[in-house]
Structure 1
Amino acid sequence: MKKWILILLLASLTINCSYDDEVNINQQLIGEWKWIESSGGIQGEILNPQTTGENRNIEITSDKIKYYTNGILTSEFDYYLQKGESIRTNEKTDLMIYENDRKQSIVLNGNKLILYDECYDCYQNEYIKD
C-alpha cells in the first residue's frame, strides 16, 4: 500500500512540475517584444533594423501573436504552446505552434527571446522585451 501511495505522489509531482513550466513560459512570453535581428536562410543572411530600414515588433498574449512593421499590424495568428522535439537540437523543447501549423522553438533568456523557425534553411528571430 505504501508503495502505491509513493508512486501516485511521484506521478502527481511530475505532472504538476510540467504544468508549472508551461504556465511559467507562457507568462514570460506575454508582452511586447522589439526585433533585434533575424539570421539564416540558404544564404545565411543577417537582417536587422539597420539593414532593412524596418522596425518590427511582436505582441504576444496568452493565445495570439501580432506582428507589426513600422507600427502597422501586418499579421496576427492564434497559437498554443507544446513540448516537442526541435529539428534544430533533436531534443524536447518549448514550441509555439501557430494556427497554420507553422512551428517555432522558443528560447527565453531574461528579457531576450529567440524564436527559431522549425524548418531547414529558415531563420532565427531575436527580440528584446519592450
Structure 2
Amino acid sequence: MKKLVLMFTLILFIVSCNNDDENNRDVDIVGDWKLIEMLSDPGDGSGTYNAVDSDFVISFLDDGTFTANGDFCNMLDVSGSPSTGIYSEIESTITPELCEGSIPNWDYSFVINGDKLIIYFPCIEPCGAKYLKL
C-alpha cells in the first residue's frame, strides 16, 4: 500500500509540474527592445511603472555593443542624438559612450525578467525603464 501511495504521489508531482516557458524562458538580450514603461518614484519607495508612448528602441548586437535611436544618457530622450555603447551580460551592465553634458558614463544595471528588459538608472530615488523585445 505504501508503494502505491508513493507511486501515486510521484505521478501526481510529475503531472503537476508545469513547464511554463512563457515566464521561465531564457530570453537572449541580442535584438531590438522597445521602451514600454518608466518607473516613477516620489522618493518613498512607493513608485510604480507607468506605460509610456515612445518610439525609443535599443538594439543589442551579438558583439557586445548596442545602438539606440535616441539619447540613452538623458533618460531615454528619443529627440536626442542616437546613442552607442557596450554591454556585458555577465556583469548585467550597459555602458553608453559619449554622454553629453555633465552626465558621466555610468554603468547602468539591467535584468531580464520573462520577456521584459529592465534598466536601472543612477538616480537619488528609484528610477528605471522597462522594454519589450520586438
Report the TM-score, using the length of structure 2 for normalisation: 0.51
Shift of 1:63: 0.8
One-letter code aligned to 1:97:
T
Matches within 5 A, 1:40-59: 40=40, 42=42, 44=47, 47-49=50-52, 53-59=53-59
Name the count of aligned residue pairs: 92
Shift of 1:120: 2.5
Shift of 1:38: 0.6
> Percent of pairs identical after alignment?
22
Shift of 1:37: 0.4
Comparing both structures, which one devotes a greater share of its residues to helix? 1
Residue 87 of structure 1: aligned partner: none
| Aligned partners of 2:58 and 2:66 also within 8 Å | no
- Structure number with the bigger relative contact order (C-alpha 8 A, sep ≥ 6) is 2
| Aligned partners of 2:56 and 2:68 also within 8 Å | no
Kindly indicate whether residue 116 of structure 2 is the aligned counterpart of residue 112 of structure 1: yes
Shift of 1:72: 7.8
Shift of 1:111: 1.6
Matches within 5 A, 1:18-29: 28-29=28-29
**Structure (1 or 2) with the larger CA radius of gyration:** 2
| Aligned partners of 1:66 and 1:73 also within 8 Å | no
Kindly indicate whether residue 84 of structure 2 is the aligned counterpart of residue 77 of structure 1: yes
Question: Structure 2, unaligned stretches of length 5 or more?
Answer: 1-25, 71-75, 100-104
Across the aligned residues of Structure 1 and Structure 2, the Cα RMSD in angstroms comes to 3.3
| Aligned partners of 2:35 and 2:54 also within 8 Å | no
User: Separation in 2 of the partners of 1:47 and 1:36?
Assistant: 8
| Aligned partners of 2:83 and 2:96 also within 8 Å | no
Change (3 A) 1:45 1:111: closer
| Aligned partners of 2:115 and 2:133 also within 8 Å | yes
1:59-92: CA deviation from partner (whole Å, max 9, x where unpaired): 22231231359x9884212123276xxxxxxxxx
Shift of 1:107: 0.7
User: Separation in 1 of the partners of 2:112 and 2:48?
Assistant: 23
Residue 67 of structure 2: aligned partner: 65
